[in-house]
Every structure is written in C-alpha cells, then in structure tokens.
Amino acid sequence: MNDDTDGVIGRCIGETSLVDVSFISKEMPKVGEYVSLEYDGKNVLGMIEALVRGSVSINNEIYDPKTIEKIRMIEGDDHYIKGKVRILGDIDNDLRIPRTPAPPGTEIKAADSAVLSEIFQVGNYGLKLGNLITQDQVSVEIDINKMVSRHLAVLAMTGAGKSNTVSVLVDGLLKVNGSVLIFDMHSEYVNTEFGEGRVNIIKPLINPIYMSFGEIKKLSNIPSNAYVQERYFRKAYRLAQKDLSKGSVYGKDFIGLIINRLESWLLEESDESEGKSSNASDRKSITDVLNKVEHMQDKYGNILSLEASDIIDNLKVGKANILDLGSVDEFASDVVVSHILRTVLKSRKEFLRTGTGLGFPIFLILEEAHILAPQNRTTESKLWISRIAREGRKFSVGLCMVSQSPKSLDSDALSQANNMIILRLVEPTDQNHVQRASENLSDDLIAQLPSLNIGEAIVLGLMTKIPTLVKIDEFKGKITGGDLNIVEEWSKSAKKEKKTLKQQKQEYEELGGDY
C-alpha cells in the first residue's frame, strides 16, 4: 500500500451510495486497507472490503486456452482491479456517515497513518489489542469501559489464537487494576503468567448453605415431574438447613444430613403396616430420593463443602480470579457456574442498593461458552448468562463469551454481545450464525474469515470506532492452553522408557541375574 496520501489508489465508478462505493484501479491494494475520499468539503474514511482482478482482453467469452496464451504474449497490460469500499464516516465529523454519496470519478487515496493512529487511540481507558494488518505501524486500542459494559464475544476455530487473545485482554485489564473472573473449563489459564501476585486460583467448591433449592435439586437429578420425590427432598433439605442453623450437625456434611433424614423416614415407614399401599408408595418415593442423593454425594461430594466460603469472599480486586473447572464434569460445571453467576449479579445489585456485597465491577470470562449456553439445549448457566447479558451493564458486571464452536452458542446470548473479536472461522454454519447475531458484520467481512492467519481477527462493536482487521499482540507470559508438540512428547516418552529399561537391567545385573 502506498502510504503517501497524495497517491491515488483508484476512482469511484458506477452508482455510489451512502454506505459503499465501487472503484477501479490499476494497482493492487489490500482487503482491509483504509482509504479516504474527499468530496463536498468532507474527508471521508472507508475500508476496502472486496477486490477482484480482471482483464479486458481475456474475458469469459474466450474458450480456447491457446487464444488466452497468445493474448498474454501481446505487449501491454490491460488488467484492472475492481473493488468495493465500505463508507465508515467523515473523519472531521466524529466519523458520522455523510448525507451525500461520493460523485463517480472521485479519487480514492490511501488513508493517512497519522489519522488512523488518532482514530485507534482511546487514551486513558484504552487497551492495546494489536496493530492493523494492513498498516502494522498503527496500534489498535479498544475502549475498556465499552468492552466491559457492553459485553464481548471472542470467537475462533481451534488453533486460531483464541487463548492468546483472551490472555492479551486479561493482561491489559490487569494493567488498569481490572478485576476478572475466568471460568476455566479445561485448566488452560491456571498456570498462565499474568505477573507475580496477579493471579487468584479458586477451587470449584460451593457451600450448600448458599445454594438455592433449585440448584441442589438439579444436582440430585430429581425429575421435574416427580412431585412426591421432590416433596420429600425439599422437606429433608429444609430440616438439614435448620439443623445447621442450630449447630446440630450429626452428619458428615450437608448431604449427609439430608441422607440421615431420609433414612429415618424410610425406617419409620417400614415400621408401619406393610399392608397399606400408601406406605409402600411412600417407601418407594423415599428410597428413590435416597438413591439419588447418595449418588449425588458420591459424584459431586467433592464440590460441596460446609467449609467453603461464599464465592464473593474469594474474589480479589485487581486480579485474574481463575475458577479451575478442569476436574469437574459438564453437568456439575453448569451448577457451579450458574450458582456463581447468580451470586455475582445478586451481590452487585445488593452493593449498589445497600453498600454491602461485591464492592467492585467485575468482568466475567466464560471459556467454552457453547457448553454453558448451548443453542438447542436448556442449562442453568444459560439462564444467568442471558440475565447478565441483559442486566449486567446497569450493575457493572461485564461478560465475555469465548467459543471455538459459534454455531453451538445460544444465538440470544450471542446477540447481546455488542463487541466481537472474530478470529479465523472456516465453517459456513459458524460464519452464518455469527453474522445473524451481529448487524455490523457484512458479507464482505464474513468472506475474509477463512483467509485470516493465526492471531489475526476482525474487531467490531462499540469498543472500537470502526470495524478493523487486527494482528493481535503476542502475549508475553506463558500460556498452557496451546497445542502440544506431539512429536516432542513422543520423543520424551521414548527416552523415559529407554532410561527405565536401562535402570531395570542394571538393578537386575547387580542382583546377579542374567538379563
């Protein structure tokens, strides 16, 4: 690209509109390159969104390859470049869309780097994300306030640079003492180096005292239509809470208290006349509940603890709070995440109303968001993700949904994200799903997604003044979420095995054996 603002890239042709213009050129610019158009006393910024190359002589009506070769041998060059520019706004009028279209024949020039640098600088509330792909000397900052308050989606196929992008975001927020809570589904960020004293690891433990009945009922897997089972379970649940409030803890834990209650009722029912059908029915219901609760204790007892403090007490201001969910299955993760989302939103509301509760804004980063808020399945987390997406702005609770399978992510939740960082996406169903959720993602920008290199992204939304193609900075700390070097791991394992066999041989020979 010619960085000289006097250098003309091309000229407008055909009919122009307020939103885009077509142009013709002899030199090849780049898709994503910023250009300027001067007309009607305005200096208008645009972005090249589409390009095609053609030849006047070699057209679609030639069917003989030999004829094409002869034409190519003729001296002269009659090729042309035709493209489309998306109008972004008047540079001198806060990037407002002009009220009149550009006249045909208007010159299209390369945008001045100094102007672009000014556009992409946010100031005190900016987070440096990377540099323009087409002009790498221009830094791109995003508005932190608008990113957090208006929510964000980071979308990419596997291996496109999603973990690096999230790490750059977190690192940038920590530099301004931002408070972040990462729901780390696969323990990717537990060992990430965000700086000494900047990380607070949180174990996935919930004190049952702070859980709602609905949350603990979901863990017990009691069906919604099993009314008698639910009645017994609710009664045992309330009595267990009462026992705890009195300090009368005769079970190992909260679930143990529920089990003890159910066992005592089952014993009482068994002592009654076995000839009564009602007793037999009650015994069966109690037994069914008891079996489910014991199964819950076996499977999820490791995440329920009376010694666990309230999640709000575990969150630290100015740190990357990382909830390590790597050892928890998806079902339990849904319960843990939904509980925390509900508690955080409730606590922020309480603080703004009474001054007690979570005393600082927080940015929630949901890794594998398509698992927690799936498109065609109901989960508890999905409910609270949607609630925070709609209400979080009023209570300074920001949301970032991260997904490598956008088509599987709930479209309602995705549409609430007013900012997007979209790295490489190849699958058409992923592309279409994202486009339906974002009004700013044009067909031409969508067409660029498969051609993005690792770490390159389309950035759009309220956190940036104009849509842009960015090369994301490389995070300087160690990231554990990247791909392993498989060949190197095999080599290490083979050396370790060889060393073990050698040691065994030496030990055997020392004992006088013949190996």
Bigger pLDDT: 196 or 373?
Answer: 373
Average pLDDT over residues 434-458: 88
Strand partners, 142: 127
Average pLDDT over residues 75-98: 87
Give residue 303's pLDDT.
84
Give residue 250's pLDDT.
45
> Percent of the chain at pLDDT above 70?
90
Give residue 252's pLDDT.
54
Residue 17, Cβ density class (10 Å: 0-12 exposed, 13-18 middle, ≥19 buried): exposed
User: For residues 279 and 266, what is the distance between their CA atoms, to the nearest angstrom?
Assistant: 10
- Residue type (1 letter), 494: A
User: For residues 257 and 449, what is the distance between their CA atoms, to the nearest angstrom?
Assistant: 55
Average pLDDT over residues 89-94: 93
Residue 365 main-chain phi, psi, to 5 deg: -110, 115
SS3 content of the chain, % helix, strand, coil (to 5): 40, 20, 35
Average pLDDT over residues 383-397: 94
Average pLDDT over residues 492-506: 79
* Greatest mean pLDDT range, 52-56, 243-247, 415-419: 415-419
Strand locations in 359-494, DSSP E? 362-366, 397-403, 419-422, 456-461, 468-472
DSSP string, 372-390: HSBSSS--HHHHHHHHHHH
Residue 108 main-chain phi, psi, to 5 deg: -115, 120
Give residue 4's pLDDT.
44
pLDDT band at 513 (very low <50, low <70, confident <90, very high): low
The mean pLDDT value of the chain amounts to: 87
Bigger pLDDT: 447 or 152?
Answer: 152
Of the candidate ranges 66-70, 368-372, 395-399, 426-430, the one whose mean pLDDT is the lowest: 66-70
With beta carbons less than 8 A apart as the criterion, state whether 410 and 382 touch: yes
With beta carbons less than 8 A apart as the criterion, state whether 11 and 106 touch: yes
Give pLDDT tens digits for 304-340: 888 888 889 999 999 999 999 998 888 889 989 999 9
User: For residues 212 and 208, what is the distance between their CA atoms, to the nearest angstrom?
Assistant: 8
Give residue 442's pLDDT.
81
pLDDT band at 209 (very low <50, low <70, confident <90, very high): confident
Average pLDDT over residues 383-409: 94
Handedness of CA 61, 63, 67, 73 (dihedral sign): positive
Helix (H) or strand (E) holding 241: helix 227-246
Of the candidate ranges 16-30, 228-242, 500-514, the one whose mean pLDDT is the lowest: 500-514
Handedness of CA 147, 152, 155, 158 (dihedral sign): positive
With beta carbons less than 8 A apart as the criterion, state whether 388 and 369 touch: no
Which pair of tokens denotes residue 456?
């390159």
Distances 308 to 216, 253, 354 between C-alpha atoms, Å: 16, 12, 25
